Amino acid sequence: MNPESRVYVAGHRGLVGSAILRRLEAEGYDNLITRSHAGLDLGDPQAVDEFFASEKPEYIFLAAARVGGILANDTYPADFLRENLTIELNSIDAAQRHGVRKLLFLGSSCVYPKFAPQPMREEHLLTGELEPTNRSYAIAKIAGIELCRAYNKQYGADFISVMPTNLYGPHDDFDLQTSHVLPALIRKFHEAKTTGDRSVSVWGTGTPRREFMYVDDLADACVFLMKNYSGDEIINVGVGRDISVEELAILIRNVVGYEGAIEYDTSKPDGTPRKLLDVSRLHELGWEASTPLEEGIRQTYEWYLASGRRSMETKSA
Ligand code: GFB
């Protein structure tokens, strides 16, 4: 892959796809191909086929997906399963039939068993029961991994699968019903600071542990792996450290500058007790994350504030 290559970033308006696009643009790629959801429905096999026939992408970052936090996954399992399966099947199959040189598929750390040994190594895939709150999403992502492997084996394709840890950053979803914990807490603390609320509600017990990676680091890792790795083995992408939800809440409260209390709503699920990836395989390949968590949270909070200003400006324009 080089700056002249025809590179399709699927899902370029989302958290991950927008970061990959920024990363490639910064490196001078000038044959980037993108489509909004309205411009191309990846759930429609015929539309996908026509798009591949006309655009002839050589490299694909498959970052299009139905994603969401613990509540959205638990409430809409059929949507998460159906939409992710169809996106993966249509894109991966078309990539093979239209001679795409290489495809990078983005999975998720939730493909690993709920009680996998920590940190979770790539070989722990398919060794135990999944976490029930996101089993449908996880099974769709496991199917994506298997599609890549099967197309490599049967057709000699060069499709790789990358398992990112919990991600955050610019263009994240800040809707409290569908978002992940980090953007949700940025919004909750910011709104409580603005309105003067005496406390903020954090879901669950605060004890679950998660690993958080700034999405620009993930984008860098994806470009690195596209250039430097081929094979059937999945590759974990994370920072190698985790923190509890309680520690995260305190960190975000400090960044936002909120002085009220934190309350735990134990009617909401905790989900997996711990999710930390073993990233030694990625380190051996020669890549490590660089953005410290507090710095990434600051940048995300700044983006959140600016995006609020942008939407106010759009409304008043
Ligand atoms: O980020 P999150 O929604 O997803 O939740 P998962 C992580 C933890 O934060 C859970 C707690 O223990 C939540 O109960 N939490 C506390 C909150 N306050 C909040 C809040 O206001 N909003 C949210 N959303 N959580 C997802 C999977 O699991 O992780 C997906 O459902 C995917 O499939 C994604 O794998 C990366 O880490 O539990």
Ligand 1 centroid to residue 286 C-alpha, Å: 30
CA–CA distances in Å: residue 73 to residues 2, 125, 196, 217, 286: 37, 20, 31, 25, 34
pLDDT digits (tens, 9 = 90+) for 152-195: 999 999 999 999 999 999 999 999 999 999 999 999 999 999 99
Q: Is the pLDDT of residue 313 over 80?
A: no
**C-alpha distances in angstroms, 224 versus 244, 283, 298, 316?**
30, 12, 25, 42
Judge whether residue 125 has pLDDT over 60.
yes
Cα of 183 vs centre of ligand 1, distance in Å, is 10
Q: Which residues are the active-site residues?
A: 137
How many C-alpha atoms does 39 have within 13 Å on its Cβ side? 9
**Residue 19 pLDDT > 80, yes or no?**
yes
Distance CA 317, CA 313 (A): 6
State the average pLDDT for the chain.
Answer: 96
CA of residue 221 to ligand 1 center, whole Å: 23
The ligand 1 atom at the shortest distance from the C-alpha of residue 270 is 12
Q: Tell me: the pLDDT tens digits for 46-63?
A: 999 999 999 999 999 999
- What value does the mean pLDDT take over residues 19-46? 97
Residue nearest to atom 10 of ligand 1 (CA): 270
pTM of the model: 0.96
Identify the residue whose tokens are 């923190």: 243
Rounded to 10 deg, the angle between the 15-26 and 215-228 helix axes is 60
Residue 238 is predicted with a pLDDT of 98
Q: What is the mean pLDDT of residues 70-91?
A: 97
pLDDT band (50, 70, 90) for residue 296:
very high
Residue range 7-307, CATH number: 3.40.50.720
Average the pLDDT over 292-313 and give the result: 90
Contact 105, 145 (CB under 8 A): yes
Query: Hey, is 58 helix, strand or coil?
Result: coil
What does the CA dihedral 253, 254, 258, 260 come to, rounded to 10 degrees? 70
Mean pLDDT of 67-78: 97
Quick one: tokens of 314? 């759009």
Q: Residue 317 pLDDT > 90, yes or no?
A: no
- For 87, other C-beta atoms within 10 Å of its C-beta total 22
- Model confidence at 316: pLDDT above 80: no
Please compute the mean of the pLDDT values over residues 71-84 and round it to a whole number: 97
Which atom, in ligand 1's list, is nearest to the CA of 108? 35
What is the mean pLDDT of the segment spanning 55-76? 97
- Whether 148 has a pLDDT exceeding 60, the answer reads yes
List the residue whose alpha carbon is closest to atom 15 of ligand 1.
203
Which residue's CA is minimally distant from atom 3 of ligand 1?
69
Ligand 1 centroid – CA 166 distance (Å)? 9
Among candidate residues 296, 71, 294, 61, the one with its CA nearest the CA of residue 172: 296
User: Who's near 100: CB < 8 A, 6+ residues apart?
Assistant: 52, 57, 58, 59, 60, 157
Average confidence (pLDDT) over 132-139: 97
66: which DSSP letter?
-
Q: Looking at the predicted structure, is the pLDDT value of residue 310 above 90?
A: no
Does residue 315 carry a pLDDT above 60?
no
Q: What percent of the chain has pLDDT over 90?
A: 97
Phi, psi (rounded to 5 degrees) for 7: -115, 125
Ligand 1 environment, Cβ below 6 A: 69-71, 73, 108, 110, 133-134, 137, 166, 179-181, 184-185, 202-204, 208, 210, 245, 268-272
Instruction: Please state the atom number of ligand 1 nearest to the C-alpha of residue 182.
Output: 1
CB 17 within 8 A of CB 11: yes
pLDDT band at 308 (very low <50, low <70, confident <90, very high): confident
- Could you please report the per-residue DSSP string of 7-24? EEEETTTSHHHHHHHHHH
Q: For residues 181 and 173, is the Cβ–Cβ distance under 8 A?
A: no
The residue-averaged pLDDT of 107-124 equals 97
Q: Which pLDDT tens digit goes with each residue over 225-273?
A: 999 999 999 999 999 999 999 999 999 999 999 999 999 999 999 999 9
At 212 the pLDDT is 98
